[in-house]
Every structure is written in C-alpha cells, then in structure tokens.
Amino acid sequence: MARLIKDMLRRGRPLVMGILNLTPDSFSDGGVFYREGRVNIDTVLYRVQGLIDGGADLLDIGGESTRPGASKVTLNEEVDRVLPALEALRNRFDIPLSVDTSSPALMIEAAKSGAVMINDVRALGRAGALEAAAAMSLPICLMHSRGEPQVMQDNPQYRDVVAEVLAFLQSRIDECEKRGISRTRLILDPGFGFGKTLEQNLSLFRALPAFVAEGFPVMVGVSRKSMIGKLLEKPVEQRVYGSAALAVLAAQAGAAIIRVHDVVATVDSLKMLEAVRPM
C-alpha cells in the first residue's frame, strides 16, 4: 500500500485529499454525517460518491475533531465513528483511504481494514503510536502541533516558527528511524492552524519550499481555516475561493498532497495551473 501512495505522488501534480470528518463538532462539517447520535453510513456513502465524482485522489477519514477548543474523544467513540465507515467505503469504492488518528489501537485496526495511510496530527506522539506505526507498512503523515486542541490557540509563542517547526519534524523523523520506520514511509505537514497565530501561519506558508527541500512529500491542510477567514473576513462556508487560491500556491511551492473540503474547486484550480505551467 505504501507503493500505491508513492505511485500516486509520481503523477507530477499534488494529490487532492478529500476530507471526511465523522464528528459532531468539526469546525466546517461537524455533524453532517450524524443521525440519532451515530454516523449514518448512507449519508457517508453519498458524500464520498460526490468527492470521487469531483476528482478526489484519496480521502482522509477522521473521528476526532481537532479544531481549537474541541472536546476530548474516547478511543471507543473514535473507533465507533471510523471503522464501520472505513469498512463500508472499502466494500463500495476503490479510492485510497487515509485515517486521521493519533490513537495507536485505531491505527492498527484501520490498517487491517484497508486504510492505505495514517494521518497523525500529533506526529506519533501518543504512547504506543511509534510502536503501532512500526508494526505496519503504511505511509505516515507527521504533523506539527503545539498543545492539545483545547488550549493550542492560547497565545502560541515562537522565536522562529519556521525553524522550530522544521526542528520538531526532524526530531520526529529521527524517532521514527530509531523504531525502524523507514524515511520512505514519511510525509510531513507543517500543521497550519495547530497552535499558530495568523502571522505564524503565513510565515509557514511562505516557507513551504523549505519544507519540500527536506526531501519528504509535504501535505498542506489550510482548507477553510481561520487564517483564510481572518484575512478575507469570511465565515467558514464562504472560504472556498481563498482555499482554492492557497491550494494553487501550495502546488507551486511543491506540495505533494493538498487536504481539502472543496474538492471540485481545488481540482479545477489545479487543472488550470497545470495547463499554464506543467508541474
């Protein structure tokens, strides 16, 4: 499965990763897939068909909201949200599925259920996560974050946000290698919006070429985030154009995966970029 992701990354343009938040409280689409307190699989299947028709290359399924101020989720809650949907999608569609989780137990079960990638906003920082990743062969996305969602936006401080985020990711790469996790399995994410102010996010975005220069595929997730809302003074549902603009800029900077809510707008924007400047 790691080879599948590598083959996709060789296409010469960023992969468009569609977001599937199976949570009641995610900042953009929380509760969309809920009925009577549980994830409604029929609604999930309908949404995924739309993402596939819109041109998504892969999907990222999450059962824990990591928006600023989000409530903590138990392992059982996260598993109950993710695994039934993952299994239903594997039985219905051929699209590659990533699972957005920091929970070692869910990582293992997701791999058994057909996930082709693990996306961890805590960069394998939870107890047992490195061991779980070492026990599988899937690609792993290591993301930078500072603090848990409940407090991560409480006045984050950096002397040099770019240098510190790069240093953190390098430290996680080193830990992975010590546990026998090959560098060829790793993807990096600067973690836009995770313990960063607007100016810190903008500094990181401008520095994307430095992250790409580290030699790992880089994933960018800025879709509909508050950095766009603050700049454009737009609510979440009106941040599509700002998100698409940043997707194009991320592609120009060398991003390998762009994680988005609005697949059609992103795919169309990248097609135009590809037409005028082959990537």
Is residue 6 annotated as part of the catalytic site, yes or no?
Answer: no
For 217, residues 6+ apart whose C-beta sits below 8 A from its C-beta are: 9, 187, 188, 256, 257
Catalytic annotation present for 10: no
What is the torsional sign of CA 70, 75, 78, 80? negative
Please identify which of the residues 146, 172, 185, 259 carries the catalytic annotation. Answer: 259
User: Rounded distance, CA 27 to CA 171, Å?
Assistant: 30
Beta strand ranges found along 91-181 (DSSP E): 97-100, 117-120, 140-143
- Fill in the DSSP letter of residue 183: G
Q: How far apart are CA 56 and CA 228, in angstroms?
A: 22
Helix axes 198-206, 240-253, angle to 10 degrees: 40
The one catalytic residue among 225, 230, 234, 239:
225
Catalytic residues: 225, 259
